[in-house]
Structure 1
Amino acid sequence: MSRYRRAYVPGGTYFFTVVTERRQPILTHAEVRLALREAIVLVRETLPFRIDGWVLLPDHLHALWTLPAGDADFSTRWRLIKRHVTRTCGPAYMRRDHLTERRAAKHCGTLWQHRFWEHLIRDDRDFRHHLDYLHGNPLKHGLVERVADWPWSSFHRWVRQGTYSADWAGVGSDGLVVEEPCRAMKWTPPSYGVNAPD
């Protein structure tokens, strides 16, 4: 059996997918959203990172982060974020039927899948592709008919900055998805970690 090896690149920009245990649709609950926001603020105080893109769906989230120069430790950041949310919301969302022997032995909660998926962003085109992907995700999953209608996304920030039009990506009158990926992008980072939107 091969072991998965993560790509740790200091100062890198990464796309992440983090999923709830057994895809429980809880991430958009108010108390979980609040705990997640608190966790991110707390972690960024000691282990800073820039959030380039974000979308929160009921059972998973996608994020684009840029780490500081000389720092490649995204795993600790995610561990601390997930732990804070679990400690804050875990008792209310504990699922005994999801508690395996391994999780019980490690005193793990049942909110999150054990691992997460990451992709190291290679260049500006890759960045734009993943930013479009995460912003279009609520539409892809049938949660909205227009990307702008999903409230838990960095899409609105990028619209305010003029990168996307407010009507980018939606369902047309024929029922097909209308999207113009990348064309709307005005921002090209000279190097990741510099001049990115807040």
Structure 2
Amino acid sequence: MTDYRRFYIPGSTWFYTVNLAERRDNNLLVERIDLLREAFRYVKRRRPFTMEAIIVMPDHLHCIWTLPPGDADYSTRWSLIKSRFSRALPAGERVSASRAKRRERGVWQRRFWAHLLISQDDFNAHFDYIHWNPVKHGYVQKVAEWPYSSFHRFVALGIYPINWGHSGRFGIRPTEYPE
């Protein structure tokens, strides 16, 4: 078994990728977006963090969080989000023998990917990547067409123009566009 080692830095900002266990032809996260939102709200009330950006795709999600000063425990937060969401679903997904032995559901991949954001450029690149993701995966032609995204909040705040992320413009920071 692979020996994963995570490091924890209080108050840091992280980019995450979290996947469903069965990704092929699975639309669970957008079909049950209400349950996913509730799971995030539940955990944020108990273990606060700042959600900097998020994209929810049918079978995975990406987000950026900043943890509170003195707090580095993102793993517990993810465990709580995943378990809260899973418990709200009716059983029926495929469960592997190893998961059944541990009495686990088969909703999420056990692990998640975490990347410490170390600079503003690193943050900006991941921020753009999050919002570009539905275009990258071919779900929409324009970033603004995907409803399960923090992109719309950043348009309202004037950070992104509404037409960002189409016509080959990905990779250019929104502030570089002419008005």
Please give the TM-score of this superposition, normalised by the length of structure 1: 0.84
| Structure 1 consecutive aligned stretches of length 4 or more whose deviation exceeds 3 Å | none
| Residue 180 (structure 1) shift | 4.5
Other-structure match for 1:154: 150
Other-structure match for 1:109: 105
- Contact between 1:129 and 1:182, CA under 8 Å: does it hold in 2? no
Q: What is the identity, as a one-letter code, of the residue corresponding to 1:150?
A: W
Q: Work out whether 1:181 is the aligned partner of 2:177.
A: no
- Unaligned ranges ≥5, structure 1: 173-177, 187-198
- Contact between 1:7 and 1:120, CA under 8 Å: does it hold in 2? no
Q: CA distance change for structure 1 residues 2 and 38 in 2, over 3 Å: closer, same or farther?
A: closer
- Alpha-carbon distance in structure 1 between the residues aligned to 2:120 and 2:174: 14
- Alpha-carbon distance in structure 1 between the residues aligned to 2:34 and 2:48: 19
- Contact between 1:90 and 1:111, CA under 8 Å: does it hold in 2? no
Please give the TM-score of this superposition, normalised by the length of structure 2: 0.92
Other-structure match for 1:10: 10
What's the CA shift string for 1:33-82, capped at 9, x where partnerless?
11111111111111000000000000100010000001010000000000
Other-structure match for 1:28: 30
What's the CA shift string for 1:127-149, capped at 9, x where partnerless?
00000001000000000000000
Other-structure match for 2:96: 100
| Residue 182 (structure 1) shift | 4.7
Other-structure match for 1:142: 138
- Alpha-carbon distance in structure 2 between the residues aligned to 1:145 and 1:118: 28
| Residue 5 (structure 1) shift | 1.3
Aligned residue-pair number: 174
| Residue 183 (structure 1) shift | 2.5
| Residue 181 (structure 1) shift | 2.7
| Residue 111 (structure 1) shift | 1.0
- Unaligned ranges ≥5, structure 2: none
Percent of aligned positions that are identical: 44
Q: CA distance change for structure 1 residues 140 and 17 in 2, over 3 Å: closer, same or farther?
A: same
